[in-house]
Chains A and B, each alone.
Chain A
Amino acid sequence: MNLKGKAHKFGDDINTDYIISGRHKFKTLDMKELAKYVMEDLDPDFYSKVSPGDMIVAGRNFGCGSSREQAPLAIINANISAVVAKSFARIFYRNCINTGLPLIECDTDQIDPGDEINIDLQKGVLHNATKGIDIPITPLPEVMLKILSDGGLVEHFRKYGTFNFD
C-alpha cells in the first residue's frame, strides 16, 4: 500500500473534540457530512484545503480525549490518506486500526507544511520528497497488521466470527 500526499501540519495534543466536535458528532451517522467539520475548531477552512491523499502531520499525543470513532471516520471521509505523528493516544490508535486509517509514528519535526510525503506501508518507509529524506517509522504490532490487512475489525469478524490471530 503506497500513500502519497502533501502534509497539513498541526501541533501537540490534538484531541478528538478538535478532530470532530461534539456539537456535530452526536447528530448523525453520515460520515461524509461529518467530514466537512474535520479540524473545524483549529482551522475552519481545513476541509476545503484537502486534496485526496493528503496527510495530517502532528506532534505528540494525537487523538487524545474521547473514544469517538467518528474521529478516524471523519478523517477518512475527508480524503486524508494517513495520520503521521510523534505519538498517538491509545483509544484513537485502536480506532484507526479498526476502521482502516493508516497511522505512522515518526519524528515529524522533519516535515513542514506542504511537504510532499510518500509512504510505503509494507516496507515501513516514509519519504519526504520535498526535502529528499527518508524518516524511520515505528512498525505496527502484528495483531494490528493482521486487523489492517483483513481490512479492519468489521472484515476480520465477518471472516472469522471472533478474534483470530493464529
Chain B
Amino acid sequence: MGKTIAEKILSNKSGRDVKANDIVVADLDFIMGQDGTSPLAIRAFKEMEAKRVFDPSRVAMVIDHSAPSPLQGVSELHHQMREFADEQGICFYDIGDGVCHQLVPEQGHVVPGDLVIGADSHTCTYGAINVFSTGVGSTDLAAGIISGKLWFKVPETFKFVVNGKLPAGVFSKDLILYLIGDVTADGATYMAAEYVGSAIEDLSVEARFTISNMAIEMGAKCGLMEADDKTIEWVKQHSKREFTPVSADPDAVYARVKEYDVSNLEPQVASPHTVDNVSAVSAVAGTPIQQGVLGTCTNGRLEDLRIAAGILKGRKIARGTRLVVAPASRSIYLQAIREGLIETFVEAGAAVVTPGCGPCVGTHNGVPSDGENVISTANRNFKGRMGNNKAFIYLASPATVAASMLTGRITDPREYIN
C-alpha cells in the first residue's frame, strides 16, 4: 500500500515502516524556538537536569516576537536566551535578524525530506519545501534539544488538489484563505495537509511558503508540498546540505481529498474574529480602515514587498490611516532597500519597523486603539491578537492591504493592477 509524504518522512526518521495513526519516536533534523517559547524551554531543560543540547548545529533560537525589547520583563527573558545560546553554542538570531520562519529556510537550516519541530505554531511553513515541520510547546522543545528526538502520532493526510491559474491581482494568500474558509478552522485537525495541483506548481517558492504557513489555521499538523525543480533550485541557493526529496506514492491512502479550480477566484478577506470567516473582497469592500500591516511570517517576503510597493509607488496612503511595514528578515530588508522598495513605502507614508513579529502578536509596533479596523497580511485575526480586544482585524494579501491603505477602505487590489 502506498504512502503519503508524512508517512514516508516519519518512516525514514523512525527507522520503521509506519502508516497513519502509528506512534513513533523519530530523529529530528532541526529544532527552533522563539522568544515567546524559548525561556520556558530553557527552564524545562534545566528541570530535566540536562547539561548539553544533543547537537548545537541543529538547534536555533530566534528573538523575533518582541524585537527589540519593549519592556524590562521581556529584556530579562531575552538575556536568558542569549546566555543559553552562548553556553550551548547553538545557532542564535538576535533582534533585527528576522522572523524565525523566514530565517530557518533562508539560512539553509532545513532541506526537503527533513523532520523539524519549532516552538511556534507556524513552524508548518517549511512544508512548502517538502519538510515535515510542526509546531510544539516549550517542554517538547526541551525534550527535543536534549535527545534529538520527539514522539509523533503519524497523521492521516488531507490532500488539497488545487488546479487552474490564479487571475491577475489574486495571490497565494487569497488561495489559502479560500481553502481555510472552505474547510474551516478545524477542518484538518490532527492531519497533515498536502497541497498539489497546477495552481500550486505555478507559484514561486516564496508564494508557496504563505500557503504552508497557514496550514495550522485549518488545524493541520503540517502543510506539505512536493519538491519540484523550483524547490530544488531554491533550496540549493540557500543550503549546502545534501537532500533527497520525498514524494507521495500514486496509491497513497488519504483521509480526505478535495479538488478546487481557482481560475475565477477573487481576492479574499478573513473578517474578525476567526481566520475561517472568509469572503470575497467584494463582500467587505468599503469597510473603513485605520491601520495596515505589511509583513509577518505569512507575507513579509521580497515578492510580497514588491507587490505592495508596485501599488503604493508614487501614491500616498489615505489621510487618517497608518501603515506598518516589517520585512521578514535582515536580508529581505537589505534587498528591499537596494531595489528602492523601502523608499517607496516611506514616501507613501508608511512606518518601516524592525524585522519581527510585533505588529502581528500585539507585543509592540502598532497596537490599535478601541474600535479600530486593521487590515493585515498576517495569519491570525483573533480578538485581542494585536494587543487590543476592542479592535477588529481583517486578513488579506499584500496587494489588498496596499490598495486598502490608498483609499482608507477595504479595496479590491485589481483596481490598481493592470
A69 touches B138 (CB 8 A): yes
Assess whether B185 is in contact with A64, with CB atoms less than 8 Å apart. yes
B363 within 8 A of A: yes
- A137-160 with Cβ < 8 A to chain B: 141-143, 152-154, 157-158
Say if the beta carbon of B95 comes within 8 Å of chain A.
no
Knowing A26-B66, A89-B219 are in contact, say whether A163-B382 is a contact too (CB < 8 A): no
Task: Say yes or no: A94-B382 contact (C-beta < 8 A), given A23-B387, A27-B74.
Answer: no
A-B contacts at CB below 8 angstroms, number: 152
Structural contact, A162 and B382, CB atoms closer than 8 A: no
| Residues of chain A lying within 8 A (CB to CB) of residue B121 | 65-67, 91
Do B221 and A98 touch across chains, with their CB atoms under 8 A apart? no
Q: Contacts A17-B384, A65-B380 given: A99-B139 contact, CB under 8 Å? A: yes
Determine if A89 and B139 form an interchain contact, defined as CB atoms under 8 angstroms apart: no
- A45 contacts across to B, CB distance below 8 A: none
Neighbour of A69 across the interface among B65, B66, B139, B147, CB < 8 A: B139
Most B C-beta atoms less than 10 A away, residue of A64, A67, A90? A67
State whether A98 touches B135 (Cβ < 8 A). no
- Cβ of B221 and Cβ of A162 under 8 Å apart? no
Interface size class of A (residues with CB under 8 A): 35 or more
Asked if residues B120 and A67 are in contact (CB atoms below 8 Å), the reply is yes
Contact with A along B277-320 (1 / 0, CB 8 A): 00000000000000000000000000000000000000000000
- Whether B139 contacts A98 by the Cβ 8 Å rule is yes
With contacts A13-B185, A17-B384, A68-B37 known, is A22 near B140, CB below 8 A? no
List the A side residues contacting B35 at CB < 8 Å.
Answer: 26
Give me 28 A-to-B residue pairs in the complex whose CB atoms sit less than 8 angstroms apart, sorted by A's number. Answer: A17-B382, A17-B383, A17-B384, A18-B383, A18-B384, A21-B384, A22-B36, A26-B35, A60-B186, A61-B189, A65-B382, A66-B121, A66-B380, A67-B120, A68-B37, A68-B137, A87-B186, A89-B219, A90-B221, A91-B121, A94-B137, A95-B136, A95-B137, A95-B140, A99-B139, A142-B23, A154-B48, A157-B48
Known: A64-B186, A157-B50. 17 other contacts (CB 8 A): A26-B74, A27-B73, A41-B389, A66-B120, A68-B137, A87-B186, A91-B121, A91-B135, A94-B136, A94-B137, A95-B138, A99-B137, A154-B48, A158-B47, A158-B49, A163-B25, A163-B143
